[in-house]
Amino acid sequence: MNLKFFYYFGHYLLFLKGMLSRPEKMSVFFKRLSDEMYKIGIGSLPIIAITALFIGAVTTVQTAYQLVSGLIAKSVIGTIVSDSTMLELGPTISCLVLSGKVGAHIASEIGNMRISEQIDALDVMGINASAYLALPKILAGLLMIPLLNIIAITLSIYGGYMAGELSGILTHDEFITGARDTFKGFTLFFSTIKAFTFAFIITSVSSYQGFYTTGGALGVGESSTRAVVYRSVLVLFFDYILAEILL
């Protein structure tokens, strides 16, 4: 394996370790944390809502299309929509969408600060720049992305229900029966664990890539692009790892 991987992985871990210090001023830290929570949480709500509603709707229509046997109850569609949404579509698709929206914003914001020497200015003032810039973003992601996941799951199931009802694929009762009958609390717990893990990947990898941007505007573009690729691959990789470990 390429030794560069170990170099960058070690560098990434040192970046994370460097953040673990007491913030210079707690009031400033909490202000920054609440700003980031608003940006990540409220700012991402529209795109997450639209994505989730359509994913649920499409899952209902496509599942109905494949259920050609009359021996299978239509309520199974409700089961498939709710379970697949909680297990996979909710956390993974919404986190891939967030990876593009939130991650790109973080990487380019911090990258721009690096090339315009704003991070150097923080360092010279004796402020732990990684803790000041990246820590609130990572914590905000860890708090808000699992919440967005819950909203995505709810809206996705609602989208599936609406698509079934409006197109006459199945009735209200059939959908609800299917969704409720096989519900397991662990499925939702697993989904939250996934969202939590993906949130950490999205925010920390983006912060790291932005923090070590080199060059000018071209460098910001390169680090943002690199961050998108790494985040997406890592989200999919950990999606599989978590499924193997926990299911």
Partner 1 sequence: MIELNQINKSFDDKQVLFDIDATFLSGKNNLIIGASGGGKSVMMKCMVGLEKPNSGTIKFDGRNLLTLESQELRDVRREIGMLFQGTALFDSLTVEENIAFPLQMFSQMSISERRDRVNFCLKKVKSRKH
Please state, in angstroms and rounded to a whole number, the distance separating the CA atoms of residues 219 and 94. 28
CA angle 108, 225, 13 (to 5 degrees): 75
- Token pair of 8 as six digits: 């960058």
The answer to the question of residue 214 lying near partner 1 (CB under 8 A) is: no
The length of the chain in residues reads 247
The answer to the question of residue 13 lying near partner 1 (CB under 8 A) is: no
Distances (CA, A) of 17 to 51, 124, 135: 35, 20, 11
Cβ neighbours for 222, distance < 8 A, ≥ 6 positions apart = 213, 215
What is the dihedral sign for C-alpha 81, 83, 88, 93?
positive
The answer to the question of residue 123 lying near partner 1 (CB under 8 A) is: yes
Which one of 121-129, 157-165, 178-186, 199-207 is the stretch in contact with partner 1 (CB under 8 A)?
121-129
The answer to the question of residue 173 lying near partner 1 (CB under 8 A) is: no
Helix axes 129-167, 75-84, angle to 10 degrees: 170
Find how far residue 187's CA is from the centre of its chain: 17
Which one of 21-29, 76-84, 85-93, 201-209 is the stretch in contact with partner 1 (CB under 8 A)?
21-29
- Picking from 22, 210, 40, the residue whose alpha carbon sits closest to that of residue 119 is 210
Binder of partner 1 out of 26, 50, 121, 217 (CB under 8 A): 121
Which one of 19-27, 43-51, 76-84, 205-213 is the stretch in contact with partner 1 (CB under 8 A)?
19-27
The answer to the question of residue 116 lying near partner 1 (CB under 8 A) is: yes
The answer to the question of residue 181 lying near partner 1 (CB under 8 A) is: no
Please state, in angstroms and rounded to a whole number, the distance separating the CA atoms of residues 64 and 177. 16
The answer to the question of residue 120 lying near partner 1 (CB under 8 A) is: yes
Cβ proximity to partner 1, 31 vs 184, nearer residue: 31
Give the nearest distance from C-beta 135 to partner 1 in angstroms.
15
The answer to the question of residue 207 lying near partner 1 (CB under 8 A) is: no
Residue with structure tokens 């923080």?
A: 122
The answer to the question of residue 222 lying near partner 1 (CB under 8 A) is: no
Which one of 118-126, 174-182, 203-211, 223-231 is the stretch in contact with partner 1 (CB under 8 A)?
118-126
Which one of 20-28, 87-95, 141-149, 177-185 is the stretch in contact with partner 1 (CB under 8 A)?
20-28
Contact 152/51 with Cβ under 8 angstroms? yes
Cβ proximity to partner 1, 123 vs 165, nearer residue: 123
Q: Which residues bind partner 1 (CB under 8 A)?
A: 18, 21, 24-25, 28, 113, 116-118, 120-121, 123-128
